[in-house]
Chains A and B, each alone.
Chain A
């Protein structure tokens, strides 16, 4: 007739259907649901992001290429190759001063069997230089990021924790440092390094320290902001009211809240610093010859013959920079989306 009869299907009478029965305990949510810790959730969201996975893969391969492959590769970055005039046989040496009798420098050879990416105008193997150059770029990136994290976390933490005049002074310091134009500053720093006669091999260490001293401001701002907003947050006030210990406050609340942001910032900064290092090396401010760096390898493009006829010499390091920085940006963006689900959809 209508719904009501359907509703009574399976019961002999209305009275029977209305006998009490409890269903309280039937639902066990845990059975068909997977519980994940926040870290697991971040990893899961990260892995689901295609670009982030591509970025991670590129970085792993790049690290293998720069740090692993040179162990098995027969040539070194500073090794110089000569060709015997008569036999065409190849002669290897590390001494650029040595004059080889009856032989010529194996300059700007096209990619071939012996030198997969050819040689540059100094007669050095391009592939070896590409690997060693990548080492420098990645190393500079990591060391600068570590320096900026150490300084930024300490100063930002102090400013946020003590507030008052400490905060005011440190924030002025942040403004002062961020007002320093870094590119011109690097020019002057590099000039001074030449004036005080620092060897090209050691120059890069000074460059790293200066970069670290210049780039900590964003980390300090981030940490300070996080501490201040945490202080304002209601759950922190509630925690304060229960009288938790400062150490507890830092390990249980501050670090879990700040760490994801710090990791994201550090990853994006890694890409940015590699870009800057290569720019500096391109200008001759960073890594100096005879040592290789992707940036100074591209700078050989200034020679118009190389630009025109030997793209293997300058395009490959340029692409390496582009791919590595791109990969860091992919990973950084993926991490940000994974740690901040609000931004997604």
Chain B
């Protein structure tokens, strides 16, 4: 007994030492990033070209880390996603898999100084085949893109609107600060009311002068959508926009989003944990697990030929598939701690299809078809044939 106690104490001491080291390391990292941010960046530094000019956004090898007091959390660890113009890309995964952090990285809204983009490019198409790297853009330029070219719809409509400002004020300021068309305040107001009507709010001019607490959850989410559409964005990031709503309202909001997307011809990055929602809205699907992409492809690929054991598990655990069955399928085990990620496949200890090859390091993406990719050893045969 005494021995284990001493051992524990010894471990505790070691841990405290480690934590101190982490703190020192973090301080250094914060300073480095702060310096980077204060430096004046010439345009040539962040100007690049798109790999495919048909894409609106190309996320290339994004690594977003959180340098916390207990260690570096690799929230996003090498994610590559392409968002084509006018298409909807669904990003699926359980909570904590890094899908929200990816979206916040694109808008550079990470909690600083802990959250930082450590590596990777975020190429955003600004037309004429030219692109800017959002990961390197200076804050001022970034501010002119946020809410203008790239907008975001957040999850909780109850808390995302400011309780002490009227709906009108919150809508108007978006146009006012990105006023490309040099609108007068009268015109701005008309535009806001028009947008409220577009998102299906009946008494638009009445709502305009109301406060958020006077509206229902569904109404508020419509207002948030109106906010996102005001400046004709090229890309809308919707972070679980329907999760907090009633099921009937959910369907309405999804319909609305689909209808509006065609109207304003924007691309949508749709983040959700609900596969049903993805099936209804997305053209392409990205499945994330523990900060990495495990599988991506078209909706057809993912729903008709799910290949990664995790995707297969997700499909099996959908309630709609379980009607009549005794119990819902649930994937055994837990996600590994994001601080001490192993150097082998993160899903290995939860996987019921693992093979001997899984002893090796984390698998790279293997192409299954022109549109379908998966990071799993089980497809190594197909992969090597395709290459060989």
Contacts and interface: CB of A to CB of B under 8 A. Distances in A.
B283 interface: no
Contacts of A17: 355-357, 377, 380
Contact of A27 (B349, B357, B387): B349
Interface stretch (A3-11, A143-151, A214-222, A228-236): A3-11
A305 interface: no
A89 interface: no
Contacts of A14: 380-381, 384
A177 B161 CA distance: 38
Contacts of B378: 18
Q: State the majority secondary structure of interface residues on A.
A: loop
A34 interface: yes
A97 interface: no
Interface string B343-369: 000001111111111111001101000
Contacts of B381: 14, 18
Given A4-B384, A24-B332, A345 B69 contact: yes
Interface string B27-38: 000000000000
Contacts, number: 76
Interface in A106-129: none
Contacts of B68: 345
B15 interface: yes
A30 B352 CA distance: 23
Given A16-B356, A24-B332, A8 B380 contact: yes
A32 B351 CA distance: 22
Nearest to A5: B384
B114 interface: yes
A74 interface: no
Interface residues of A, number: 27
B349 A23 contact: yes
B333 interface: yes
A34 B357 contact: no
Contacts of A4: 366, 380, 383-384, 387
A86 interface: no
A227 B336 CA distance: 37
A34 B364 contact: no
B12 A34 contact: yes
A14 B356 CA distance: 10
A6 B129 CA distance: 36
A33 to B, nearest CB: 8
Interface in A5-62: 5, 7-11, 14, 16-27, 29, 32, 34
A18 B15 contact: no
Contact of B356 (A3, A19, A25, A27): A19
A1 interface: yes
Contacts of B332: 24
A3 B364 contact: yes
B384 A23 contact: no
Interface in B18-64: none
A29 to B, nearest CB: 8
B354 A34 contact: no
Contacts of B17: none
Residue from A5, A19, A20 with most neighbouring chain B CB atoms (10 Å): A20
Contacts of A5: 384
Contacts of B359: 10, 21
Contact of B333 (A2, A3, A24, A345): A24
B213 interface: no
B205 to A, nearest CB: 36
Contact of B11 (A26, A34, A345): A34
A29 B356 CA distance: 23
Contacts of A27: 333, 336, 349
B27 to A, nearest CB: 13
Nearest to A20: B355
Interface string B1-13: 0000000100110
B307 to A, nearest CB: 14
A239 to B, nearest CB: 25
A7 B364 contact: yes
B355 A18 contact: yes
A34 B333 contact: no
A18 B357 contact: yes
A5 to B, nearest CB: 8
Contacts of B12: 34
A247 B333 CA distance: 36
Residue from A9, A17, A20 with most neighbouring chain B CB atoms (10 Å): A17
A4 B353 CA distance: 19
Nearest to B360: A7
A21 B366 contact: no
A18 B380 contact: yes
A21 B354 contact: yes
A23 B380 contact: no
B8 A7 contact: no
Given A7-B380, A17-B380, A345-B69, A24 B349 contact: yes
Contacts of A24: 332-333, 349-350
Contacts of A26: 348-349
Contacts of B363: 7
Nearest to A1: B387
B356 A11 contact: yes
A19 to B, nearest CB: 5
16 contacts: A4-B380, A9-B360, A17-B357, A18-B356, A18-B380, A19-B356, A20-B353, A24-B350, A27-B333, A27-B349, A29-B337, A32-B340, A34-B11, A34-B12, A34-B15, A345-B68
Given A1-B387, A5-B384, A24-B350, 12 more contacts: A4-B366, A8-B384, A14-B381, A14-B384, A18-B355, A19-B355, A20-B354, A20-B356, A21-B358, A24-B349, A34-B11, A345-B114
Interface of B: 8, 11-12, 15, 68-69, 114, 332-333, 336-337, 340, 348-360, 363-364, 366, 377-378, 380-381, 383-384, 387
Interface of A: 1-5, 7-11, 14, 16-27, 29, 32, 34, 345
